[in-house]
Amino acid sequence: MSETLKIPTMAELHAQGLAPEVLFWVGCAGSFDDRAKKITKALVKILNKAKVDFAVLGTEESCTGDPAKRAGNEFLFQMQAVTNIEVMNGYSVKKIVTACPHCFNTLKNEYPDLGGQYEVVHHTQFLKQLLDEGRLSIEGGKFKGKRITFHDPCYLGRANDIYEAPRDLIQKLDAELVEMKNCRKKGLCCGAGGAQMFKDAEPGNKEINIERTEQAMEVKPEIIAAACPFCNTMMTDGVKNKAEGQIQVSDVAELIANADDL
Amino acid sequence: MAFLPNIIFGLILVGGIGFFVRNINKLKRNIKLGQSVKIDGATGQRWSNMARIALGQSKMVTRPISGILHVIVYVGFIIINIEVLEIILDGLLGTHRIFSSIGPLYGVLIGTFEVLAVLVFLAVVVFWMRRNVVRLKRFLSPEMKGWPKQDGNLILYFEIVLMALFIIMNATDAPFQAMNSGNVVSQFVAPWFDGLPLAAIERTAWWLHIIGILFFLNYLYYSKHLHILLAFPNTFYGRLTPNGQLDNLESVTNEVKLMMDPDADPYAMPDGSTQDPEKFGASDVFDLNRIQLLNAYTCTECGRCTSECPANQTGKKLSPRKIMMDTRDRLQEVGQNIDANKGNYVPDGKQLLWDYISPEELWACTSCNACVEACPISINPLSIILEMRRFLVMEQSAAPTELNTMMTNIENNGAPWPYNQMDRLNWKND
Ligand code: SF4
Ligand code: SF4
């Protein structure tokens, strides 16, 4: 299938004197993590289908610096930011879409001060826009009546007050959206943020992702929908531990691509 | 010596208020030990936040039981304090119930106060039960042992006594009872005092009431109850930007610019070059900014932040409430040091980091903002945690090993994992 995917790079378009409507910021997880790469591809399939004029930076993309900043290394963060901004400003980037809430937050909120001013949207917002503009349609059939619960990523929800876009998309699947006891503003973290993804947890009596998985299991979903590659990893691990084979963890983009047999 | 009571009253009043002003000045001085901050954003938005969050208590009611009880105590307490104005005027002028001349409205006012006093009384009893009988988990954390626990209870006893004195004062006031207007509660209490020296009891309750209020005012500085005053400036100065946005350190921006600029002279000193090199991050209260220090004084120790914290819920040592309490305790310690040394801080070999807050606590944070969202008065524990992480990493190179690996990877490969940047598009062909 991959040979049919159209994934132009900014450099290629630039060489032809073109500039795309939107830059797809893939992110480190989306580029390298085996699970997250599937999300990247699902999103590309949808973008292709909706005929969105996009491009990626490819080898010119580098970590936004989010985990370094949250770990306390402001130097490294700003070095990364300045490098990325130079590349993006070189291509006169106007709009960015990304499937990673951490990249989203950093690009949207922390880059402007350093000279990187773009319109940044999370992929759930972007897909919602496409839907509203009639550029994308979602087939509900496959998920009709399935119990889906949505895990709010901290960096999408509390950090940036985006709660409805992913939920609206799930509802378009004709699925039964069920809410965990901690949702929206009160959503419980998956345990990966603030650079925790890259280290062992401090001593305690439980892993955070297990706690969150148990909350999800309480509402008996068939699918836990995520909207962040790191949440996805954490919840997948949690499910492996607690409910192997009973619950599926999918990104909202994967659900939509899947519904359309993309 | 007919004026003796007036004079004594005046002295007590001036003394009580004077002492309070002195404490407030200390508080201001201590907050100013912090770094100054630029206050940007729309001032209108700030006023409206203050009106909504502090005055309107909009975030308290997200937990309905404690929220509604709190609103009762808060409204009751503020309104009943109109009565204090009368007491002060009576005390200074030697009058008795000076406002009663306004006619029937007076009865309505006092009647309202009496009802509120009873409601406050009941709410406070429920609060006490939550702390001591039901023993809610968030009031039992390790940081709540000792003074913080006592403080929480003392305030409740205090309010019970003040409310009781108010009702007793009205019940034993024969002329007031004779007016039979506004004594909606006290008329039922009055018979308890039949045959007792009413006038003496009334005077005693009256004096104790005003002395109690002045004492309360001065108790604030030593208590979590500072929030009844500081919640207002604190919500005013609360952040207007998205929770997820962390500030970009300006000092770092300057250095990064120098590093990235091929023409820059690496040995050139920035302006004001005689200064000590800038310290990155925070290891003590002096390195925090003034809003963070104001946050610390404002914290009510309610523990809503800690009860929502994923790290704390899963047994980690981190408690955002403790971060705020430690910051305040350390700031008080520094303040006392300055008092004891004629206005100068003499280093005591202690710091906020290590002596109060351990790296283990700091490294447990997922930066999820649950604490920030939960705080009813716009306190941001996460910002202090991040500032201290910055110190650990940039000044001490003391990050956990795995994080050092992650950062080395970003530096060398542009990704937190050891993959080559040139392979970044390989997913395309997988
Ligand atoms: S941001 Fe940190 S301290 Fe605050 S609730 Fe989340 S993990 Fe706890
Ligand atoms: S920081 Fe806010 S939520 Fe936490 S204990 Fe203090 S007042 Fe309560």
pLDDT over 90 at B20, yes or no: yes
Residue-range domain boundaries for chain A: 2-131, 137-259
Residues B404 and A198: beta-carbon distance below 8 Å: no
Kindly indicate the confidence band of residue B102, based on its pLDDT and cuts at 50, 70 and 90. confident
In a domain, B206, yes or no: yes
Which of B392, B425, B430 to substitute to test the interface with A, most A CBs within 10 Å?
B425
Share of chain A above pLDDT 90, in %: 87
Interval A70-90 mean pLDDT = 95
Q: Is B48 in CB contact (< 8 Å) with chain A?
A: no
Which pLDDT score, from 0 to 100, does residue A230 have? 96
Phi/psi at B210 (5° precision): -70, -35
The reply to whether A2-131 and A137-259 are identical in fold is yes
Instruction: Based on the fold, state whether residues B222 and B255 are members of the same structural domain.
Output: no
Instruction: Based on the fold, state whether residues B256 and B399 are members of the same structural domain.
Output: yes
B169-178, B263-272, B307-316, B344-353: the lowest-pLDDT one: B263-272
> Tens digit of pLDDT for each residue in B348-400?
999 999 999 999 999 999 999 999 999 999 999 999 999 999 999 999 999 99
In a domain, B121, yes or no: yes
**Ligand 2 centroid to residue B215 C-alpha, Å:** 25
Which pLDDT score, from 0 to 100, does residue B180 have? 86
CATH code for the domain of B323: 1.10.1060
Instruction: Based on the fold, state whether residues B213 and B79 are members of the same structural domain.
Output: yes
In a domain, B46, yes or no: no
Between CA B405 and CA A198 the distance in angstroms is 9
> Tens digit of pLDDT for each residue in A101-117?
999 999 999 999 999 99
Do A198 and B403 make contact, defined as CB atoms within 8 angstroms? yes
**Ligand 2 centroid to residue B62 C-alpha, Å:** 14
- The conformation of residue B423, written as its DSSP 8-state character, comes to G
Instruction: Based on the fold, state whether residues B16 and B138 are members of the same structural domain.
Output: yes
Instruction: Based on the fold, state whether residues B27 and B125 are members of the same structural domain.
Output: yes
Sign of CA dihedral B292, B297, B302, B303: positive
> Tens digit of pLDDT for each residue in B237-265?
999 999 999 999 988 988 888 887 767 66
Q: Which residues contact B213 (CB under 8 A, 6 or more apart)?
A: B81, B84, B162
Kindly indicate the confidence band of residue A132, based on its pLDDT and cuts at 50, 70 and 90. very high
Do A155 and B310 make contact, defined as CB atoms within 8 angstroms? no
In a domain, B48, yes or no: no
H or E element, residue A49: helix A34-49
Instruction: Based on the fold, state whether residues B100 and B138 are members of the same structural domain.
Output: yes
pLDDT over 60 at B269, yes or no: no
Which ligand minimizes its atom distance to the CA of B389? 1
Instruction: Based on the fold, state whether residues B102 and B195 are members of the same structural domain.
Output: yes
Long-range CB contacts (within 8 A, 24+) of B289-292: B289/B34, B289/B35, B289/B36, B289/B37, B290/B31, B290/B32, B290/B34, B290/B35, B290/B36, B290/B37, B291/B34, B291/B37, B291/B237, B292/B34, B292/B327, B292/B380, B292/B383, B292/B384, B292/B387
- The residue whose C-alpha atom lies closest to atom 4 belonging to ligand 1 is B371
Instruction: Based on the fold, state whether residues B294 and B189 are members of the same structural domain.
Output: no
Between chain A and chain B, how many beta carbons pairs sit less than 8 Å apart?
219
**Ligand 2 centroid to residue B300 C-alpha, Å:** 6
Tell me which amino acid residue A77 is.
Answer: F
Which of B239, B388, B427 to substitute to test the interface with A, most A CBs within 10 Å?
B427
Instruction: Based on the fold, state whether residues B254 and B215 are members of the same structural domain.
Output: no
Instruction: Based on the fold, state whether residues B291 and B207 are members of the same structural domain.
Output: no
- Please give the ipTM for the structure prediction: 0.94
- Residue B401 structural domain: 250-413
pLDDT over 90 at A75, yes or no: yes
CATH code for the domain of B147: 1.20.950
In a domain, B24, yes or no: yes
H or E element, residue B202: helix B198-219
In a domain, B332, yes or no: yes
The domain boundary, picked from B175, B195, B228, lies at B228
Q: Which three-class secondary structure state does DSSP give residue A147?
A: strand
Residues A6 and A48: beta-carbon distance below 8 Å: yes
CATH number of A137-259: 3.40.50
Strands A119-122 and A95-98: parallel
Between CA A58 and CA B424 the distance in angstroms is 6
Q: Evaluate: CB of B303 within 6 angstroms of ligand 1.
A: no
pLDDT over 50 at A79, yes or no: yes
Domain count, chain B: 2
| Nearest of B156, B76, B69 to residue B113 by alpha carbon | B76
A120-134, B61-75, B115-129: the lowest-pLDDT one: B61-75
Q: List Cα–Cα distances, B89 to A37, A107, A117, B96, B110, in angstroms.
A: 75, 60, 60, 9, 16
- Mean pLDDT computed over every residue of chain B: 90
Instruction: Based on the fold, state whether residues B332 and B380 are members of the same structural domain.
Output: yes
Instruction: Based on the fold, state whether residues B24 and B172 are members of the same structural domain.
Output: yes
Ligand 1 atom closest to the Cα of residue B323 is: 3
Of B243, B257, B426, the CB nearest to A159: B243
Interval B271-284 mean pLDDT = 73
Conformation bin of residue B386: beta by default, left when phi > 0, alpha when psi is -120 to 50: alpha
Which pLDDT score, from 0 to 100, does residue B1 have? 58
In a domain, B419, yes or no: no
B-contacting residues in A 31-90 (Cβ below 8 Å):
31-33, 37, 40-41, 56, 58-59, 61-63, 65, 67-82
- Give the per-residue SS3 of B149-192: HHHHHHHHHHHHHHHHHHHHHHHCCHHHHHHCCCCCCHHHHHHH
Q: Is B404 in CB contact (< 8 Å) with chain A?
A: no
Kindly indicate the confidence band of residue A1, based on its pLDDT and cuts at 50, 70 and 90. very low
Q: Evaluate: CB of B231 within 6 angstroms of ligand 1.
A: no
pLDDT over 50 at A2, yes or no: no
* CATH classification (class only), A2-131: alpha beta
In a domain, B399, yes or no: yes
Global pTM?
0.92
| Nearest of B237, B227, B217, B213 to residue B23 by alpha carbon | B217
> Tens digit of pLDDT for each residue in A175-229?
999 999 999 999 999 999 899 999 999 999 999 999 999 999 999 999 999 999 9
Share of chain A above pLDDT 70, in %: 99
